[in-house]
Copies of this chain bind each other. A is one copy, B any other.
Amino acid sequence: MALYNTEAISGWERFYRANFINSLTGFKSSSLIGTVNAEGQPNLGIFSSIVHIGSDPALIGYINRPMKAAPHTLANIRATGIYTINHIQPEMIAQAHQTSAKYAPEVNEFEEVGLTPEFIGNIKAPFVKESVVKYALELQQIIPIELNETFLVIGKVIAVQLNESIVSEDGFLQLEKASTVCSNGVDSYYNTQFIARYAYAKPGVAVSKITKSE
Protein backbone atom coordinates (compact mmCIF):
# COMPACT_ATOMS: atom_id res chain seq x y z
CA MET A 1 0.00 0.00 0.00
CA ALA A 2 1.28 3.47 -0.89
CA LEU A 3 0.64 6.56 1.24
CA TYR A 4 0.50 10.03 -0.32
CA ASN A 5 0.44 13.19 1.81
CA THR A 6 -0.57 16.80 1.11
CA GLU A 7 2.93 17.75 -0.06
CA ALA A 8 3.08 14.86 -2.53
CA ILE A 9 -0.39 15.64 -3.91
CA SER A 10 0.23 19.37 -4.33
CA GLY A 11 3.56 18.64 -6.06
CA TRP A 12 2.07 16.50 -8.85
CA GLU A 13 1.78 17.74 -12.45
CA ARG A 14 -1.73 19.20 -12.81
CA PHE A 15 -3.26 16.66 -15.19
CA TYR A 16 -1.85 13.79 -13.12
CA ARG A 17 -3.40 15.31 -9.98
CA ALA A 18 -6.73 15.95 -11.75
CA ASN A 19 -6.93 12.32 -12.93
CA PHE A 20 -5.99 10.98 -9.50
CA ILE A 21 -8.31 13.18 -7.42
CA ASN A 22 -11.23 12.80 -9.83
CA SER A 23 -10.98 9.01 -9.45
CA LEU A 24 -10.50 9.10 -5.69
CA THR A 25 -14.17 9.77 -4.90
CA GLY A 26 -15.18 6.48 -6.55
CA PHE A 27 -17.65 5.65 -9.30
CA LYS A 28 -20.18 8.34 -10.14
CA SER A 29 -23.06 9.29 -12.35
CA SER A 30 -22.12 10.95 -15.62
CA SER A 31 -25.10 12.66 -17.19
CA LEU A 32 -25.89 15.19 -19.90
CA ILE A 33 -27.38 18.54 -18.87
CA GLY A 34 -29.62 20.13 -21.52
CA THR A 35 -30.44 23.85 -21.50
CA VAL A 36 -31.41 26.72 -23.79
CA ASN A 37 -30.22 30.31 -23.59
CA ALA A 38 -32.59 33.32 -23.49
CA GLU A 39 -32.93 33.14 -27.31
CA GLY A 40 -33.82 29.43 -27.28
CA GLN A 41 -30.41 28.19 -28.53
CA PRO A 42 -29.87 24.63 -27.19
CA ASN A 43 -26.78 23.59 -25.23
CA LEU A 44 -25.70 20.17 -24.00
CA GLY A 45 -22.86 19.37 -21.60
CA ILE A 46 -21.60 16.35 -19.66
CA PHE A 47 -21.39 16.55 -15.86
CA SER A 48 -20.19 13.92 -13.42
CA SER A 49 -20.82 15.68 -10.11
CA ILE A 50 -24.55 15.14 -9.72
CA VAL A 51 -25.60 14.65 -6.11
CA HIS A 52 -28.82 13.72 -4.30
CA ILE A 53 -29.87 16.51 -1.92
CA GLY A 54 -33.28 15.30 -0.74
CA SER A 55 -36.41 13.36 -1.71
CA ASP A 56 -39.22 15.50 -0.24
CA PRO A 57 -39.09 17.92 -1.91
CA ALA A 58 -37.14 16.10 -4.64
CA LEU A 59 -33.92 18.14 -4.83
CA ILE A 60 -30.87 17.28 -6.93
CA GLY A 61 -27.62 19.23 -7.11
CA TYR A 62 -24.58 19.37 -9.34
CA ILE A 63 -21.24 21.12 -9.09
CA ASN A 64 -20.54 23.66 -11.84
CA ARG A 65 -16.88 24.50 -12.38
CA PRO A 66 -15.76 28.17 -12.26
CA MET A 67 -17.58 30.38 -14.79
CA LYS A 68 -14.37 30.97 -16.75
CA ALA A 69 -13.97 27.20 -17.29
CA ALA A 70 -17.62 26.16 -17.86
CA PRO A 71 -19.85 29.16 -18.53
CA HIS A 72 -22.69 28.10 -20.86
CA THR A 73 -24.79 25.63 -18.89
CA LEU A 74 -24.90 27.76 -15.76
CA ALA A 75 -25.58 30.99 -17.69
CA ASN A 76 -28.51 29.28 -19.42
CA ILE A 77 -29.89 27.93 -16.15
CA ARG A 78 -29.71 31.42 -14.66
CA ALA A 79 -31.50 32.82 -17.73
CA THR A 80 -34.34 30.28 -17.95
CA GLY A 81 -34.53 28.54 -14.56
CA ILE A 82 -35.09 25.16 -16.28
CA TYR A 83 -32.73 22.30 -17.24
CA THR A 84 -32.78 18.59 -17.96
CA ILE A 85 -30.49 15.78 -16.77
CA ASN A 86 -30.19 12.74 -19.04
CA HIS A 87 -28.54 9.38 -18.30
CA ILE A 88 -25.94 7.97 -20.68
CA GLN A 89 -26.29 4.56 -22.34
CA PRO A 90 -23.30 2.62 -23.77
CA GLU A 91 -24.22 3.43 -27.39
CA MET A 92 -23.89 7.19 -26.82
CA ILE A 93 -20.72 7.44 -24.70
CA ALA A 94 -18.53 8.88 -27.48
CA GLN A 95 -21.10 11.58 -28.30
CA ALA A 96 -21.69 12.36 -24.63
CA HIS A 97 -17.94 12.68 -23.98
CA GLN A 98 -17.54 14.91 -27.05
CA THR A 99 -19.88 17.50 -25.45
CA SER A 100 -17.03 18.25 -22.99
CA ALA A 101 -15.11 20.05 -25.79
CA LYS A 102 -14.95 23.83 -25.39
CA TYR A 103 -17.43 24.85 -28.07
CA ALA A 104 -18.24 28.51 -28.76
CA PRO A 105 -21.49 29.70 -27.07
CA GLU A 106 -23.40 29.83 -30.39
CA VAL A 107 -22.70 26.14 -31.12
CA ASN A 108 -25.55 23.64 -30.62
CA GLU A 109 -23.81 20.59 -29.14
CA PHE A 110 -26.76 18.32 -30.05
CA GLU A 111 -25.98 18.94 -33.74
CA GLU A 112 -22.20 18.83 -33.26
CA VAL A 113 -22.13 15.45 -31.56
CA GLY A 114 -25.17 13.85 -33.19
CA LEU A 115 -27.67 13.51 -30.35
CA THR A 116 -31.36 14.41 -30.73
CA PRO A 117 -33.04 17.20 -28.74
CA GLU A 118 -36.51 16.24 -27.50
CA PHE A 119 -39.03 18.70 -26.09
CA ILE A 120 -41.62 17.27 -23.69
CA GLY A 121 -44.81 19.12 -22.71
CA ASN A 122 -44.20 22.80 -21.98
CA ILE A 123 -40.69 22.25 -20.55
CA LYS A 124 -38.40 24.81 -22.18
CA ALA A 125 -35.15 22.83 -21.90
CA PRO A 126 -34.32 20.01 -24.32
CA PHE A 127 -34.06 16.38 -23.22
CA VAL A 128 -31.79 13.88 -25.00
CA LYS A 129 -34.06 11.58 -27.04
CA GLU A 130 -31.52 8.72 -26.91
CA SER A 131 -31.44 8.70 -23.07
CA VAL A 132 -33.54 6.03 -21.37
CA VAL A 133 -33.81 7.86 -18.02
CA LYS A 134 -34.20 11.66 -17.99
CA TYR A 135 -35.66 14.35 -15.80
CA ALA A 136 -36.26 18.09 -15.73
CA LEU A 137 -35.41 20.47 -12.92
CA GLU A 138 -36.53 23.92 -11.87
CA LEU A 139 -33.68 25.96 -10.39
CA GLN A 140 -34.01 26.52 -6.65
CA GLN A 141 -30.66 27.93 -5.57
CA ILE A 142 -27.11 28.54 -6.78
CA ILE A 143 -24.67 28.36 -3.88
CA PRO A 144 -21.20 29.80 -4.64
CA ILE A 145 -18.34 27.74 -3.16
CA GLU A 146 -15.76 30.41 -2.50
CA LEU A 147 -12.95 27.94 -1.77
CA ASN A 148 -12.42 27.36 -5.51
CA GLU A 149 -15.02 29.49 -7.34
CA THR A 150 -17.29 26.55 -8.14
CA PHE A 151 -21.07 26.44 -7.58
CA LEU A 152 -23.54 24.00 -6.09
CA VAL A 153 -26.60 24.30 -8.35
CA ILE A 154 -29.79 22.88 -6.80
CA GLY A 155 -32.98 22.14 -8.71
CA LYS A 156 -36.36 20.62 -7.90
CA VAL A 157 -37.46 17.64 -10.03
CA ILE A 158 -40.52 18.74 -12.05
CA ALA A 159 -40.76 15.88 -14.55
CA VAL A 160 -39.27 12.40 -15.04
CA GLN A 161 -39.43 10.28 -18.18
CA LEU A 162 -38.30 6.67 -18.16
CA ASN A 163 -39.30 3.17 -19.14
CA GLU A 164 -41.80 1.87 -16.57
CA SER A 165 -40.27 -1.60 -16.74
CA ILE A 166 -37.26 -0.46 -14.66
CA VAL A 167 -39.42 0.74 -11.72
CA SER A 168 -39.63 -1.78 -8.84
CA GLU A 169 -42.73 -2.16 -6.68
CA ASP A 170 -41.19 0.02 -3.98
CA GLY A 171 -40.05 2.83 -6.31
CA PHE A 172 -36.44 1.67 -6.71
CA LEU A 173 -35.13 2.09 -10.27
CA GLN A 174 -33.27 -0.90 -11.71
CA LEU A 175 -30.79 1.27 -13.60
CA GLU A 176 -28.88 -1.76 -14.89
CA LYS A 177 -31.98 -2.64 -16.94
CA ALA A 178 -31.79 0.84 -18.51
CA SER A 179 -28.07 0.22 -19.24
CA THR A 180 -27.22 3.50 -17.52
CA VAL A 181 -23.42 3.76 -17.43
CA CYS A 182 -21.33 5.05 -14.56
CA SER A 183 -18.05 6.90 -14.75
CA ASN A 184 -14.69 7.18 -13.03
CA GLY A 185 -12.36 10.14 -13.21
CA VAL A 186 -13.00 12.59 -16.03
CA ASP A 187 -12.98 10.27 -19.01
CA SER A 188 -13.75 6.66 -18.16
CA TYR A 189 -17.07 4.79 -18.49
CA TYR A 190 -18.35 1.50 -17.04
CA ASN A 191 -21.23 -0.94 -17.15
CA THR A 192 -22.57 -2.23 -13.86
CA GLN A 193 -23.48 -5.62 -12.52
CA PHE A 194 -26.02 -5.95 -9.70
CA ILE A 195 -24.71 -7.54 -6.48
CA ALA A 196 -27.51 -7.10 -3.92
CA ARG A 197 -30.06 -4.86 -2.27
CA TYR A 198 -30.13 -4.76 1.50
CA ALA A 199 -33.10 -4.11 3.82
CA TYR A 200 -33.29 -1.03 6.08
CA ALA A 201 -30.64 -1.53 8.76
CA LYS A 202 -31.47 -1.61 12.46
CA PRO A 203 -29.10 -1.69 15.45
CA GLY A 204 -28.41 -5.22 16.66
CA VAL A 205 -30.14 -6.96 13.72
CA ALA A 206 -27.97 -8.43 10.95
CA VAL A 207 -28.99 -6.84 7.62
CA SER A 208 -30.77 -9.10 5.14
CA LYS A 209 -30.86 -8.98 1.35
CA ILE A 210 -33.99 -7.82 -0.46
CA THR A 211 -34.84 -10.43 -3.05
CA LYS A 212 -38.24 -9.37 -4.44
CA SER A 213 -36.95 -6.82 -6.96
CA GLU A 214 -33.80 -8.59 -8.12
Q: Is the CB of A26 within 8 A of B182?
A: yes
Copies in the complex: 2
List residues 10-65 of chain A with CB under 8 A from any CB of chain B: 10, 12, 14-31, 48-61, 63
Given contacts A180-B27, A190-B195, contact A152 B150 (CB under 8 A): no
List residues 192-213 of chain A with CB under 8 A from any CB of chain B: 192-207, 210
Q: Report the bound CA distance from A58 to B60 in whole Å.
A: 23
Q: Which residues of B contact A28 (CB under 8 A)?
A: 26-29, 51-52, 182
Q: Is the CB of A171 within 8 A of B16?
A: yes
List residues 175-193 of chain A with CB under 8 A from any CB of chain B: 175-176, 180-182, 184-185, 187-193
Q: Is the CB of B53 within 8 A of A207?
A: no
Whether A70 sits at the interface, judged by CB under 8 Å, is no
Interface of A is mostly: mixed
Q: Is the CB of B18 within 8 A of A55?
A: yes
Q: Is the CB of B15 within 8 A of A25?
A: no
